[in-house]
Chains A and B, each alone.
Chain A
Amino acid sequence: MRIEAVKLQICHVDAGSASALSCAIDRKHELIHINFLLPRCNRKSGMSRHPLLPEVTIALAVKLIVILAAALFVFSPKQRPRIDAASMQERLIGTSTELPQPTRSVLP
């Protein structure tokens, strides 16, 4: 049998119905019918809207604002302690250059 054409048909069905794919061979007209049943979506984008979407968005926005505010006002480079070898030297041995003069005998 020769196939002259393939006919693809997409049909929208009620939201909540199952999506389905069916395939049939029409020998009389030498056609292959492909029918795709697609449930109708509530939104144009085709993505279901999560019921908590506004709350999640607000929570994320608030967190982002808090993090940015903290980064600007609490952890800005100006307020961040900056420690390097020189400041560590200042902390541990100070600026003194005197040689040690222990007042007691030192262990061998």
Chain B
Amino acid sequence: MTTAMDVVQLSRLQFGLTAMYHFLFVPLTLGLSILLGIMESVYVMTGKEVWRQATKFWGVLFGINFAMGVATGITMEFQFGMNWAYYSHYVGDIFGAPLAIEGLMAFFLEATFVGLFFFGWDRLSKETHLGVTWLVAIGSNLSALWILIANGWMLNPVGAHFNPDTMRMEVTDFGAIIFNIVAQEKFVHTVSAGYVTGAMFVASVSAIYLLLGKHIEIARRSMTVALSFGLASALSVVVLGDASGYTATENQRMKIASVEAMWETEPPPAAFTVFGLPNQATHRTDDALRIPWVLGLITTHSLDEKVPGITELVQRNEDHILSGLLAYSALEKLRADRNDANARAQLDQYMSDIGFALLLKQFRPDIENATDAEITKAAWGTVPDVALLFWAFRIMVGLGFFFILLFGFAFYLISIGCLLRVRWLLWVLAFALPLPWIAAESGWIVAEVGRQPWVVEGVLPTFLAVSGISTSNVLVTLFGFIGFYTALLLVDIFLMIKAIRLGPGHNVPQPRARELPAASGAE
């Protein structure tokens, strides 16, 4: 398994890098599309040309970002087939459906109307064009919904069962997959984070214009929209993020314990560790600064409910492994004789734990003979990288609260007409530009590193999901992606800076003079 683990690590690195890179573009698309809809709505309602110019300007930046986002997303879908073939076979029936719907419904909607958005300014009525803009925004958000339904299922696999005849998971309740609580909460949390990113982008670029004294009219109006939208979105992100922690399922408890570096179960309500140095080897958090009660209140919304610690969860997982071995033996019997009713009944009874037994495969092929030490080691292997999760979560949450303060204060100042005089705050807004991306990527690290060692939580270990390909194959494509994506990023940054430098009114398609005069009535 050692060589396979290398392929696993490289494939994880490849998917992680491409996903993180792709998510540089996604949140801005989500946020800017809604902001475009808001600005154009104001234009249609007021008829003021400045709002049309603002929509067109931010639309160009949206377009650059949208194109890059599409290009970087496609490679991830290929990786499912090439690098994660066993995963694709095992859960393709469930995972493939939301991805297909995303492509056919949401992305086609978005891609069709984005063309009309750019080239329809002088061909469509104001109201129709506004409808087009909102359809682009709805398409973007629906794309996110279906992708997050697929991703949410990996974290909380509901509405499916294992078919021992086909050796794959099959859908039993598509409604349960769509309305999966983890997916729905992840969706609203993620799109809100996208709205914060879009708002910060508009606010930062507007702040730069205001500091330079350029494009004042558009920058001032854009700033107002961005700050109000950003404040509402930042509040939503924090509230919805809290909700997703509160409704964490059994499968996600290990993630929460790891995020909090909570090694032992404490009497309720548990204390929150603000700062500390988690040590995975000693199972301790050194130099911890703790606030009593806070973790219990946040996680359980109660004073008397326990938050299980890592050690307790590991012990529970040892029991899951033992139970899973029963399912494993039943599956073996059933594959040998498909009419073995006892084996089928036993499999049905213990199937939910078979993934835990499969964790032993990393130590030996004949897992039925696993030793106590191997079972304990496999159970401790269900603990993700605690230090990474601990800090990624604190960066994300810290930035989330910073956004509320920043947007709130700036919105108050612009409401009373003072923002333009407080230049230091404009500088802060300008330099805050990369922060939403840092927060969003940290959030994905929490979500996906926190899912390890599972590719589908509790169902399929990551190391069993990878294709039987060579390390060199993965290395070649990995370096290929890094080179290609770096080039794309440079092009994206160059185009963005160029468009921002030119400013509104320069890089938008000018209205075409009518080539044919209208036929006169006399004719």
Task: Using CB atoms and an 8 Å cutoff, list the residues of chain A in contact with chain B.
Answer: 16, 18-22, 75, 80-81, 83-85, 87-89, 91-94, 96-107
Contact = CB atoms under 8 A, between A and B. Distances in A.
Most chain B Cβ neighbours within 10 Å, of A85, A94, A102, A103 = A102
A80 B80 CA distance: 12
B168 A88 contact: yes
Interface string B307-346: 0000000000001001101101101110110000000000
B523 A104 contact: no
Closest 8 CB pairs of A and B: A100-B368, A81-B85, A88-B167, A83-B89, A100-B329, A85-B167, A81-B467, A106-B322
Given A88-B167, A92-B464, A96-B366, 10 more contacts: A20-B519, A85-B167, A91-B464, A92-B361, A99-B333, A100-B325, A100-B367, A100-B368, A106-B322, A106-B325
Given A96-B365, A97-B336, A106-B323, A81 B468 contact: yes
A102 B372 CA distance: 9
A21 B523 contact: yes
A102 B90 contact: no
A81 B469 CA distance: 8
Given A22-B523, A81-B468, A100 B328 contact: yes
Contacts of A98: 366, 368-369
A105 B352 CA distance: 18
Interface string B157-191: 00000000111100000000000000000000000
B331 to A, nearest CB: 6
Main SS of chain A's interface residues? Answer: loop
Nearest to B82: A81
B346 to A, nearest CB: 11
Nearest to B461: A92
Contacts of A75: 82
Nearest to A83: B89
A83 B515 CA distance: 59
Contact of B335 (A89, A91, A106): A89
Interface residues of B, number: 43
B371 interface: yes
A105 B318 CA distance: 11
B368 A99 contact: yes
A85 B523 CA distance: 74
Interface string B502-523: 0000000000000111010001
B86 A85 contact: no
B332 A96 contact: yes
A84 B89 contact: yes
Nearest to B336: A97
Contact of A93 (B90, B319, B335): B335
Nearest to B318: A104
12 contacts: A18-B517, A91-B86, A92-B331, A92-B358, A93-B335, A94-B365, A94-B366, A96-B368, A100-B329, A101-B369, A104-B322, A106-B325
Contacts of A96: 332, 365-366, 368
A107 B366 contact: no
Contact of B81 (A81, A88, A99, A105): A81
B365 A104 contact: no
B368 to A, nearest CB: 4
B323 A104 contact: no
A92 B162 CA distance: 13
Contacts of A19: 516, 519
A60 to B, nearest CB: 16
A82 B369 CA distance: 30
B478 to A, nearest CB: 14
Contact of A103 (B82, B166, B370, B464): B370
Nearest to B87: A83
Contacts of A99: 329, 332-333, 368
B322 A107 contact: yes
Contacts of A83: 85-86, 88-89
B335 A104 contact: no
Contact of B332 (A22, A87, A93): A93
Most chain B Cβ neighbours within 10 Å, of A80, A88, A97 = A88
A96 to B, nearest CB: 5
A98 B326 CA distance: 13
Contact of A107 (B82, B319, B361): B319
B33 to A, nearest CB: 26
Contacts of A93: 328, 331-332, 335
B375 interface: yes
B487 to A, nearest CB: 15
A96 B331 CA distance: 12
A41 to B, nearest CB: 13
Interface in B256-275: none
A102 B332 contact: no
B297 to A, nearest CB: 32
A100 B358 CA distance: 13
Nearest to B353: A107
B229 to A, nearest CB: 37
B325 A102 contact: yes
Contacts of A18: 516-517, 519
Contacts of B358: 92
Contacts of A105: 322
A95 to B, nearest CB: 9
B89 A88 contact: yes
A90 to B, nearest CB: 10
A99 B342 CA distance: 14
